[in-house]
A and B are shown apart, each in its own frame.
Chain A
Amino acid sequence: MQRADRIVAIGLIFVSLGVAWKSTELPVGILPKEGPGGGFLPFWLSLGIAAVALMVLIQSLVSSRRDKSNTGGAGVFMSREGLGDLLRVGLPGMIMILLIGVISVYFSAALFIFYCLFMVGGHNLKTSVGVSIGVPVVMYYIFEKFLIIPLPKGYAEFLFYWN
Chain B
Amino acid sequence: MEILGNLFYGLGVAVSPQNLLMALFGVILGVAIGAMPGLGSVNGVAILLPITFAVPPTSAIIFLAAIYYGAMYGGAISSITLNIPGASTAVATTFDGYPLARRGKAADALVTAAVASFIGGTISIVLFTFFAPPLAEFALRFGPPEEFAVVLLAYATFAGLGGESPLKTIIATMLGLLMSTVGTDIVSGSPRLIFGGITGFYHGINFLVLAIGIYGVGEIFYTLEEGFKTKERYQAKLGVAEILSTLKRLTQCTSTIMRGSLLGFFVGMLPAAGATPASFMSYSIAKRFAKKPEEFGKGALEGVAAPECANNAASTGSMLPMLTLGIPGSPTTAVMLGALFVWGLVPGPRLFVENAEFVWGLTGSLYIANTMAVIVAIFAVPIFIWMLRMPMTILAPIILVVCAVGGFSPTQDMFDVYLMFIFGAVGYIFRKLDYPLAPMVLALVLGGLTERTFRQSMIMSHGSPGIFFDFAGHPIAAVLMMVSAVLFVLPLVPMILKFRVSRAGTSS
Contact = CB atoms under 8 A, between A and B. Distances in A.
Q: Chain B: interface secondary structure?
A: helix
A38 B185 contact: yes
A117 to B, nearest CB: 6
A17 interface: no
B490 interface: no
* Number of chain B interface residues as a range: 35 or more
B171 A97 contact: no
Interface in A89-112: 89-90, 93-94, 96-98, 100-101, 105, 109, 112
Nearest to A116: B397
B458 A36 contact: yes
A98 to B, nearest CB: 8
A30 B463 contact: yes
A12 to B, nearest CB: 7
A126 to B, nearest CB: 13
B433 A86 contact: no
A30 to B, nearest CB: 7
Nearest to B186: A38
Interface in B384-412: 391, 393-394, 396-398, 400-401, 404-405, 408-409, 412
Given A22-B193, A113-B397, A123-B394, A35 B458 contact: yes
Nearest to A18: B195
Interface string A16-60: 100100110110001111111111011001101100110110010
Contacts of A45: 174, 177-178, 181
Interface in B159-203: 165, 167-168, 170-171, 174-175, 177-178, 181, 185, 187-188, 190, 192-193, 195
Interface of A: 1, 4-5, 8, 12, 16, 19, 22-23, 25-26, 30-39, 41-42, 45-46, 48-49, 52-53, 55-56, 59, 73, 77-79, 81-83, 85-86, 88-90, 93-94, 96-98, 100-101, 105, 109, 112-113, 115-117, 120-123, 127, 131, 135, 139, 142-143, 147-152
Given A19-B193, A96-B401, A117-B394, 15 more contacts: A26-B190, A26-B192, A36-B458, A41-B181, A45-B181, A46-B178, A52-B167, A82-B225, A83-B225, A86-B225, A89-B224, A97-B418, A105-B401, A112-B400, A123-B394
Which 10 A-B pairs have CB atoms at the shortest separation, nearest pair first?
A: A35-B458, A121-B393, A38-B185, A116-B397, A82-B225, A42-B181, A109-B401, A85-B228, A33-B462, A113-B397
